[in-house]
Amino acid sequence: MRTLKGPALFLAQFAGDEAPFNSWGAITKWAADCGYKGVQVPSWDGRLIDLDLAASSKDYCDTFKGEAAENGIEVTELSTHLQGQLVAVHPAYDTAFDGFAAPEVRGNPAARQAWAVDQVKKALTASRNMGIGAHVTFSGALAWPYVYPWPQRPAGLVETAFDELAARWQPLLDHADEMGVDVCYEIHPGEDLHDGITFEMFLERVNNHARANMLYDPSHYVLQALDYLDNIDIYHERIKMFHVKDAELNPTGRQGVYGGYQSWVNRAGRFRSLGDGQVDFGAVFSKLTQYDFDGWAVVEWECAMKHPEDGAREGAAFVRDHIIRVTEHAFDDFADGGTDQAANRKMLGLGE
């Protein structure tokens, strides 16, 4: 067993135009002051990282990591959540997602997809240049508008969507393999990969690609009424990344999982700051430790009520208190009788 690394913080929810959130040096110093040892970096945010340079220059990556290290921070992973979303976009979401792309490709779905694929490839190359072995992204979605089967889905619709999704990601997974980097899909509502079954459907179509893996975030499973602990038992060999995020689902006679189109604060299911929701993180950390998870515990702060800076500081302490420092020996070693094979055979009545 290995001790989980952490705490780390996903910076996407904190980057902004005001200090200390508007530059790489300042935000890593702030994260360290909050108690973090690492940060996960949103690769689309030019205030923090130049992705083109990171993909093309090892010197830039060394400087980037070195500046963080001076503040006591390690770069844990790069993220392409927004770019990965654009690898596969159903036309119903063209307008909603267009703002994720560079201005020159907006309004042109084919050009936008090509840009997104190039972005993910660059982030995988940058990960290699930084010596990072895992990368987080979204899968995108072609079938999501049809998640609830009304009207009845035509035969083959979902299968066709997943065939296309796999075809788009196969070259990226192959590139990830060349870079020595695992692609960790955040299993997330709104993505075609939103639960275990859909991940399996995708995995089958990419021929069980070794680089196709999961980011585990129990909050998304709470909001789907999915057993988030059993999920670890089933998929632990594919779980290569961990977002520590809390949530609660409190259905009423008026609303349930779908939320009735309400704002986050008024939904039956909502994200909460760590410790304020329903996730049993003691059990989560125990299972990940049991299965020898070799990654970072990364706080992704999202809460409809609490101030983000309070959530960040509390989150660092929360993760630190939940990380299990693994034992180097069994608790009952004091009773070890020092037996050997001959003694074992004798105890079993097998003679000499």
Look up residue 57 and give its amino acid: S
Contact 90, 144 (CB under 8 A): yes
CA–CA separation, 231 vs 196, rounded Å? 7
**27-49: per-residue pLDDT in tens?**
999 999 999 999 999 999 999 99
- Token readout for 242 is 């961990």
**150-185: per-residue pLDDT in tens?**
999 999 999 999 999 999 999 999 999 999 999 999
For the chain, the domains span 5-347
pTM of the predicted protein model: 0.94
pLDDT at 351 over 90: no
- Token readout for 71 is 């503040």
pLDDT for the residue numbered 330: 66
- Token readout for 238 is 């594919």
Cis peptide before 151 (omega within 30 of 0): yes
Across residues 16-35, what is the average pLDDT?
98
Give 45's contacts (C-beta < 8 A, 6+ positions apart). Answer: 11, 12, 15
Q: What does pLDDT average to over the chain? A: 96
**224-261: per-residue pLDDT in tens?**
999 999 999 999 999 999 999 999 999 999 999 999 99
Fold of 5-347: TIM Barrel (3.20.20)
**101-118: per-residue pLDDT in tens?**
999 999 999 999 999 999
Question: Backbone dihedral region of 225: left (phi > 0), alpha (psi from -120 to 50 degrees) or beta?
Answer: left
Quick check: helix, strand or coil at residue 7?
Answer: strand
CA–CA separation, 313 vs 35, rounded Å? 7
The structure tokens 């060999």 sit at 237
**277-321: per-residue pLDDT in tens?**
999 999 999 999 999 999 999 999 999 899 999 999 999 999 999
